[in-house]
Amino acid sequence: MGTQFEPGCPRFARRWAIGKALGIAETPPPRQVTRGRRWTRDGVRGVELTWNDTSAWLLTPPEAEHPLPAILLMHGHDGVKFYGKEKVADGPDGIAPGIAALREHGYGGGAPAARLVAAGFAVLIHDVFPWGSRRVPWEDLPGRARRAGAHLEGQQRYEAAAREHEHGLAKIAALQGSSLAGRVLQEDLTALHVLSDCAEVDAHRIATAGFSGGGARVAHLLACTDRLRAGVITASMSTFGDIANGHADDTSWLMITPGLPAVCDWPEIAGSAAPTPLLVQFAEQDSHFGTGGMREAEASLRRDYGDSKTLSTQWFSEPHRFTRTMQDAAASWLGLHV
């Protein structure tokens, strides 16, 4: 059968078709990467990175010897677009306002990036459109979106408007022959360029990980590049049929791309990267997916990986969350495969 990187392998054609459906183009390196503020706090050394219109943080253990194995950590959707990287990591100013409550609900009160750094990894977290530094300014939101948040105040007003605007962004991308998920993927591919070029990082030992919408980004990235040693997808794995059968309202446009279901099912996107080591974490009480859909997805992944021992799945008796126990399990697995 060969590998996914060889034209004779059926997964090679699937990967090409996935990229075409997402509407991605060749991704050039960023024009310039600038380093800004530096800080050391709570066992983490950080530096701000900026390129194009993107803000990111590179985090490393303070006393570690370079080059380090690295993780491209994807922030999720979380129903919060005002912030991106701040949801999973702390920057030079500490925990961002309002983030403590979000983390308590979805992340067991912790910052996943810090746990990966404690495990010995360099970690890059970047904002992608339309989150955080890449969010659409209030004044640029269309009137319909602004009206959706008019009865609210502060950040809640912005989130309500941004939630409404996401549908418009997906429509625009489709009309331009791409997709919202494809635009995000282009920015993730650029971030991978950046991480590979960092002096602190071993470019041959880079993996990616993400929860929920971040996990959807991991699946797309695994399908569209051969530069990753491994991937972790948390609470973001089911089938398109399951999503269509009562779960579409809980699913962001990061998992829904017009034309992609005609290419393959959702688990086959991640499965197209086989035998690249992959860990998929399922939350048994996940309201975003049905148990049957998650089990079907697991079976599909096992078909793609066949006799390979590089696929791991873990089931947790949790709702749609990335708990500290799940974070530690992911960090331990990455320590074995990166």
Q: Which residue segments constitute the domains of the chain, with CATH numbers given? A: 10-337 (3.40.50.1820)
| Structure confidence at residue 2 (pLDDT) | 46
What letters, b where the CB count within 10 A reaches 16 and e where it falls short, cover 197-227?
Answer: ebebbbeebbbbbbbbbbbbbbbbbbbbbee
Interacting residues of 282 by C-beta distance below 8 A, sequence separation 6+? 235, 237, 294, 298, 313, 314, 315, 316
| Structure confidence at residue 48 (pLDDT) | 98
Each residue's pLDDT tens digit in the chain (338 positions)?
345 556 556 678 999 999 999 998 777 788 899 999 999 999 999 999 999 999 999 999 998 888 999 999 999 999 999 999 999 999 999 999 999 999 999 999 999 999 999 999 999 999 999 999 999 999 999 999 999 999 999 899 999 999 999 999 999 999 998 999 999 999 999 999 999 999 999 999 999 999 999 999 999 999 999 999 999 999 999 999 999 999 998 899 999 999 999 999 999 999 999 999 999 999 999 999 999 999 999 999 999 999 999 999 999 999 999 999 999 999 999 999 99
Interacting residues of 249 by C-beta distance below 8 A, sequence separation 6+? none
| Structure confidence at residue 86 (pLDDT) | 98
Residue 110: exposed, middle, or buried by beta-carbon count in 10 A (0-12, 13-18, 19+)?
middle
| Structure confidence at residue 8 (pLDDT) | 56
6-11-17 Cα angle (round to 5): 105
| Structure confidence at residue 283 (pLDDT) | 98
Inter-residue contact 194 to 175 (CB < 8 Å): no
What is the spatial distance between Cα 54 and Cα 49, in angstroms, rounded to a whole number?
8
What amino acid is encoded at 78 in this protein? D
Q: Kindly report the pTM of this predicted structure.
A: 0.95
| Structure confidence at residue 277 (pLDDT) | 98
Interacting residues of 65 by C-beta distance below 8 A, sequence separation 6+? none
Inter-residue contact 333 to 246 (CB < 8 Å): no
| Structure confidence at residue 62 (pLDDT) | 95
CA 63 from chain center: how many Å?
28
Q: Longest Cα pair distance anywhere in the chain, in angstroms?
A: 58
| Cis upstream peptide for 67 (omega within 30°) | yes
- Alpha-carbon Rg for the chain, nearest whole angstrom, is 19
Neighbours of 104 (CB within 10 A): 11
Q: Which of 236, 238, 188 is nearest to 216 (CA)?
A: 236
| Structure confidence at residue 33 (pLDDT) | 96
Pairing of strands 311-316, 230-234: unpaired
- CA distances (Å), 249 to each of 81, 187, 241, 258, in order? 17, 25, 14, 16
Tokens of 288: 């975003």
| Structure confidence at residue 6 (pLDDT) | 60
Q: Which uninterrupted H or E stretch holds 122? A: strand 122-126
What is the spatial distance between Cα 188 and Cα 218, in angstroms, rounded to a whole number?
9
CA 180 from chain center: how many Å?
14
| Structure confidence at residue 12 (pLDDT) | 85
Alpha helices in 133-263, H assignment, sequence order: 143-148, 154-175, 180-197, 213-224, 240-244
Interacting residues of 251 by C-beta distance below 8 A, sequence separation 6+? 243, 288
